[in-house]
Structure 1
């Protein structure tokens, strides 16, 4: 259901195409406003990852993204901008350093040239080169009286300690002893470099302690690895459920008989279980047969199987975790809890009971256990009914305890939007019952539920349960106030009351006959449309129902064998 928002449309509920979660979603190719900025999420995918998303021009349900994925996308964009900014700063700094080096080299050349113009007898050795550079090009005039001067030279090595700056003793450079002066200068420079090398080697380097990430125990990961090892090396059968229907964990095929489920599961390679395991859901495994796949050992206990594959087959099983999955022993009819031995009529009730043993969300008021936090929240609302916020439907008088339930009700009931997809084709249905019938009629799913008390077989658990309660358990809770008759359904009691009041409110539009119950009218209408296959051999009368034929023979032709 789309909701208009001043910052952009919101779809609630919606299926996020990035993480698969059902929650509030936004449209990928619609512009939204956030913190004063305009953002289109499809364009952000292109900018950050170079990923062009498909189906952006299709249905609204195919181009949704939830708030969690939007936050992650914004973080990715911010990280990309941060990296680009630092890269730009690094490049600009590199260019500036390169320009400074060129300016410094130019200045050194100018200084050297100035010295050459003023002093032809001075030769300077560069610290960066080991070979001396002699810039004197003109021969010295022997007739010219030489002048004796002295030059104090101080060498400084940058980025070193203050002790590395050492003044040189004055070197007299006379015209007759020019070569000797150069040699002395080079020897002193070489001795200085040796002292500097000794100082650098003698300075202690700081010892940095290597940081080691502390080793942590991921128990969830250990549980998953144990489950995979158990399924791959045993005949334990993992499965999925929808209400009380069993589904293959590999191909999602539906089964009613757990024996057929186990046979079908054996056709799949257990090595592929690691690819289909869903760690977000509580894992269910049928342990009716365990046994080892690697040898002929017969094992009927999970703990014994763990000891067997570790000691005999040298498989790795983590000992720090237990209760990796919920164990069941599936069979047709009454199901028994493997932990406490309590019996249940159908699987959905047994699974709900298993929260007592495996539920991690516990009510601090009454101690009730639940598998999911949202179920615990709903339960806690029953303890403080005054503070419960109810969500009212604007189309009818119903109220709901969550906004999601209200929106789902509006979409399914009032807007007639399909919400039950078929897992074998692309059809989507308005109700669970319609999908149920679709799988039976179109995909040929066989659903047979035999009654334990008689030979009748039903095609749904609901009809089997109603049959047991009405016929075998005699749960007739609706009693007539005028007689002693009891009924299973209130509608049956209302139909019965017409026998006391004499009302005949159901009239046939073809012949004008009146009937006290709608069911009786429906049976009568068949006489106008269906073939009358029950014909009397003594008179021209014919009937569509065998009961009407027998009544005719009993009243019109008594004493005759009408069977």
Structure 2
């Protein structure tokens, strides 16, 4: 079975309940929330008793945003809570057969029903009689008045008793619906989660379905936590582990963390059968005598490839895995932001996202120098690096500490042999960091050149390149060599010049003794400085 599908999401959409333009859902389409089905138009009928109009028209006229959905759920929960408490109250009074208790029920019902729901008789007269009896408990009446009042009281009591019975019957029906829709599905969901976990174990143990974990766009082996950037090498490595140990691995997963499975290859391990999809695999394993439960899948389905990645739900393509997983949350994420409607898999990520909506002026000040930071973490790194002169970036595979993220990144590649090769899909270049590949694509292939020169038609990817280019118009030479004082208009020119001071200078001028790293530099020097002097040019 595939993961249960949610209804469509429209972004942006105009919510007909609050009038705001946000990420919206359809009012009359079934959605899944925490294992329960919900149709928002039906909840409106249950909570408020009115039917929304124009639900058969175009989608843009029947949308509701995430904020209004949460308010609607809260209203429905409050309704169910009130019904439950009312039922308990009525049941307590019905269990007591004393006449005085019956009178209390009648008085309570009369006082609460300013607008009777089940009787056409006005409630004001009943209420006034009750008040009169309370205000004048010792007032004596004539015999005629007493008889008339007794008859009226009996009729009123009979009507109210019938009304109370109708209310009890109605509340019982609502209580049964509430127990079915609230209490029972929770227990059922817990059972379904256990059955789904057993299904995952059966799939991994008896097929080539590959479980994996991720951090941003890096892939991790679930058995030993080895890191990969190439999904092909991830699969090859994972198959070297015993799949029978997957049960112990999955026991470490939290209830809120979705298990990720690579369905690139779903062939059976028990025979040579070639299988193309997860549904066929389940039916095939059942033919081998394996138990496969009828339960929704509690895992995310992927087909990992070295190139572009595609969503198995809608077919949309992504260049990096973290972008695909963020998109998958729109299909299966149950944690929804009530401000913008963004979906997440974990409450922790939703909490971090919601903090971005909070306009806080809180800053974290360094007690040493007074510099202000937006987070405690950046202040922590600043203190360790600038004031304590201590490294704050630990390596996860050894005890080494580093002063920057880039130094730790390079350490993992050189020392621990982490394979990080990010290949360009357009050309044959490859890079050892995702950032370098992204900048390469933007600069050379996508031609994202946002920084334009106001004196000519040239455009540049980085503002530093534009600044260097402007020097060609103004004649400025802002890059100076610290060894010889020579200046250059561009940083690249200075870097090439600096190599002459660093590397071994094999070529020496016989006239003035200056040495050069390259033969061509010596020839240029001789022509410029010793043009009229006799000398022997180098061969």
Q: Would the TM-score normalized by the shorter structure come out above 0.5? A: yes
Change (3 A) 1:360 1:484: same
What is the Cα deviation at residue 440 of structure 1? Answer: 0.9
Equivalent of residue 457 in structure 1, options 430, 435, 452 = 430
Matched, 1:392 2:368: no
**Partner Cα distance (1:455, 1:509) in 2:** 38
- Which position in structure 2 is the counterpart of 1:338? 312
The correspondence of residues 416-435 of structure 1 with structure 2, limited to 5 A, is: 416=385, 420-435=393-408
Contact 1:224 1:279 in 2 (8 A): no
Task: Please identify the structure whose Cα radius of gyration is greater.
Answer: 1
**Partner Cα distance (2:519, 2:419) in 1:** 31
- Which position in structure 2 is the counterpart of 1:408? 377
Change (3 A) 1:249 1:534: farther
**Partner Cα distance (2:519, 2:377) in 1:** 46
Equivalent of residue 279 in structure 2, options 303, 306, 320 = 303
Change (3 A) 1:509 1:433: closer
- The structure carrying a bigger helix percent of its residues is 2
Change (3 A) 1:350 1:221: same
Change (3 A) 1:382 1:447: closer
Equivalent of residue 526 in structure 1, options 499, 504, 514 = 499
- Which position in structure 2 is the counterpart of 1:470? 443
Change (3 A) 1:432 1:316: farther
Matched, 1:489 2:465: no
The correspondence of residues 118-157 of structure 1 with structure 2, limited to 5 A, is: none
Unaligned runs of 5+ in 2: 1-183, 530-539
**Partner Cα distance (2:290, 2:209) in 1:** 17
- Which position in structure 2 is the counterpart of 1:289? 265
- Which position in structure 1 is the counterpart of 2:59? none
**Partner Cα distance (1:271, 1:390) in 2:** 53
**Partner Cα distance (1:342, 1:546) in 2:** 57
SS across alignment from 2:213: strand
**Partner Cα distance (2:392, 2:303) in 1:** 32
**Partner Cα distance (2:416, 2:202) in 1:** 34
Change (3 A) 1:549 1:325: farther
Q: Deviations over 1:411-457 (max 9, x none)?
A: 22332365554333233445433222111111122322222222222
Contact 1:391 1:399 in 2 (8 A): no
Matched, 1:440 2:413: yes
TM-score using structure 1 length: 0.53
Equivalent of residue 236 in structure 1, options 209, 214, 219 = 209
The correspondence of residues 69-88 of structure 1 with structure 2, limited to 5 A, is: none
**Partner Cα distance (1:270, 1:418) in 2:** 40
Change (3 A) 1:350 1:431: farther
**Partner Cα distance (1:342, 1:224) in 2:** 28
- Which position in structure 1 is the counterpart of 2:326? 352
Q: Deviations over 1:517-549 (max 9, x none)?
A: 34332322221221247999xxx9975479969
Q: Deviations over 1:444-474 (max 9, x none)?
A: 2232222222222211221111111111111
What is the Cα deviation at residue 343 of structure 1? Answer: 0.8
What is the Cα deviation at residue 239 of structure 1? Answer: 1.0
- Which position in structure 1 is the counterpart of 2:303? 329
Contact 1:234 1:291 in 2 (8 A): yes
**Partner Cα distance (1:240, 1:475) in 2:** 33
Contact 2:308 2:318 in 1 (8 A): yes
The correspondence of residues 91-130 of structure 1 with structure 2, limited to 5 A, is: none
Change (3 A) 1:433 1:228: farther
Change (3 A) 1:378 1:446: closer
Name the count of aligned residue pairs.
335
SS across alignment from 2:212: strand
Contact 1:418 1:428 in 2 (8 A): yes
Change (3 A) 1:444 1:517: same
SS across alignment from 2:365: coil
Greater relative contact order: 1 or 2 (C-alpha under 8 angstroms, separation 6 or more)? 2
Contact 1:504 1:517 in 2 (8 A): yes
Contact 1:359 1:369 in 2 (8 A): yes
The correspondence of residues 16-31 of structure 1 with structure 2, limited to 5 A, is: none
Unaligned runs of 5+ in 1: 1-213, 401-405, 557-563
What is the Cα deviation at residue 300 of structure 1? Answer: 1.8
- Which position in structure 1 is the counterpart of 2:291? 316
Deviates more, 1:270-279 or 1:282-291: 270-279
Contact 1:361 1:372 in 2 (8 A): yes
Supply the RMSD in Å over aligned alpha carbons: 3.4
What is the Cα deviation at residue 222 of structure 1? Answer: 2.3
Matched, 1:508 2:481: yes
